[in-house]
């Protein structure tokens, strides 16, 4: 007799059996994961959770927001408290290789910078020699700051504080001169001050920060679901499919790429253990990648971010989806 593949329960099976998925998000980051009225969370991270819920269940509400800190985010994943880590987490070699987790897809290309009081008159990070810097523990930011100051032969005094309101309070009260984080997080933090115009994010970008989605190691099918749901949202933007017109595209697909993506041709959903309408349902729930970006952090929002590296590849950015074939 020929050998048969072992039967095992993966995360997709567990999620389907439970009836909802657990999304590990940030605690409170404007534009990415923020609690709103009636505890209705909003942001890019939340939209991805909605898209994933729609892909698996055909219903954007079948997920639970589980806010996690930088310190416990990976143990929350490996201990199965969450099914996917969506919180802004940089893809690095050591995390991918030794923490028992797998990188599934990048979600947002960011960088690292500094937020300071405008009254200090500092215009460049190279003027921060001797500064006191508030840093969150267990983050790539901590290591990147050390590398930056060592490279330019500068000194600094670290003040280790958990990210969030405590960091902003420390900056306001003068416990530190500077706070450092992902540039998107600093733009979000600046809006939390009652007097945001008194603070400035320096233009220096001291490190690459590809914020990514993570799953547990050796969970191949679930990883594919996470990866290709993200890819579907990106591909939709390239093909001109939006939240408003996805239904029309699904009924009358002219482009074979659209037919494959939206389930009108082939059995692409079945390959993932999902309905063939999985991508259609995800796009119907939240729109394409560009819509998600603009709605939550784009130039017309309080965050006011430009696409930059988060533009599609054909517009000079780094965002693309592999072929749906």
Average pLDDT over residues 160-187: 87
Q: Which of 25-39, 43-57, 227-241, 296-310 has the lowest mean pLDDT?
A: 25-39
Alpha helices (H) in 90-129, listed in sequence order: 93-98
pLDDT digits (tens, 9 = 90+) for 113-124: 999 999 999 999
Q: Which residues of 263-298 are buried (b: 16+ CB within 10 A; e: fewer)?
A: bbeeebbeebbbbbbbbbbbbbbbbbbbbbbebbbb
Every domain range in the chain assigned CATH 3.40.190.10: 11-109+210-315, 112-207
Q: Give the C-alpha separation, 235 to 279, whole Å.
A: 10
Q: Give the C-alpha separation, 227 to 171, whole Å.
A: 38
Q: Which of 73-87, 172-186, 212-226 has the lowest mean pLDDT?
A: 172-186
Helix/strand number for the chain, H first, E second: 13, 11
Q: And the tokens for 154?
A: 């500068």
Beta strands (DSSP E) in 202-251 are 208-216
Domain 11-109+210-315 has CATH 3.40.190.10: yes
Q: Cα 276 vs. chain centroid, distance in angstroms?
A: 25
pLDDT value of residue 13: 97
Q: How confident is the model at residue 278 (pLDDT cuts 50, 70, 90)?
A: very high
Cβ–Cβ under 8 Å, residues 186 and 113: yes
Q: Give the C-alpha separation, 65 to 126, whole Å.
A: 39
* Average pLDDT over the chain, rounded to an integer: 93
| CA-closest candidate to residue 258, choices 240, 270, 273, 282 | 240
Beta bridge partners of 211: 90, 108
Q: How confident is the model at residue 39 (pLDDT cuts 50, 70, 90)?
A: confident
Domain 112-207 has CATH 3.40.50.2300: no
Quick one: angle between helices 44-57 and 289-296, nearest 10? 140
Question: Can you say whether residue 127 is alpha, beta or left, with left for phi > 0 and alpha for psi between -120 and 50 degrees?
Answer: alpha
């Amino acid at each position: 007799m020929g050998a048969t593949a072992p039967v095992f329960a993966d995360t997709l099976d567990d999620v389907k059996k439970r009836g909802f998925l657990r999304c590990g998000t940030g605690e409170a980051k404007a534009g990415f994961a923020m609690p709103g009225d009636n505890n209705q969370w909003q942001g890019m991270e939340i939209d991805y959770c909605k898209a994933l819920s729609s892909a698996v269940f055909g219903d954007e509400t079948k997920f639970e927001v589980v806010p996690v800190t930088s310190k416990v985010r990976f143990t929350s994943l490996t201990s199965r408290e969450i099914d996917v880590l969506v919180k802004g987490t940089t893809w690095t070699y050591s995390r991918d290789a030794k923490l028992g987790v797998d990188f599934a897809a990048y979600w947002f290309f960011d960088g690292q910078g500094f937020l300071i009081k405008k009254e200090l008159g500092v215009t460049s990070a190279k003027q921060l020699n001797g500064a006191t810097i508030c840093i969150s523990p267990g983050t790539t930011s901590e290591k990147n700051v050390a590398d930056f100051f060592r490279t330019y032969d500068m000194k600094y005094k670290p003040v280790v504080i958990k990210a969030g309101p405590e960091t902003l309070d420390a900056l306001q009260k003068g416990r530190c001169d500077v706070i450092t984080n992902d540039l998107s997080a600093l733009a979000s933090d600046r809006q939390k001050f009652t007097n945001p115009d008194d603070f400035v994010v320096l233009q220096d970008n001291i490190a690459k920060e590809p914020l990514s989605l993570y799953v547990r190691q050796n969970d191949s099918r679930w990883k594919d679901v996470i990866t290709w749901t993200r890819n579907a949202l990106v591909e939709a933007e390239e093909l001109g499919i939006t939240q408003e017109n996805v239904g029309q595209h699904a009924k009358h697909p002219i482009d074979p790429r659209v037919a494959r993506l939206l389930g009108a041709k082939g059995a692409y959903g079945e390959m993932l253990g999902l309905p063939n309408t999985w991508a259609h349902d995800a796009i119907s729930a939240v729109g394409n990648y560009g819509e998600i970006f603009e709605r939550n952090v784009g130039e017309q929002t309080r965050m006011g971010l430009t696409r930059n590296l988060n533009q599609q590849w054909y517009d000079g950015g780094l965002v693309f989806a592999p072929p749906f074939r």
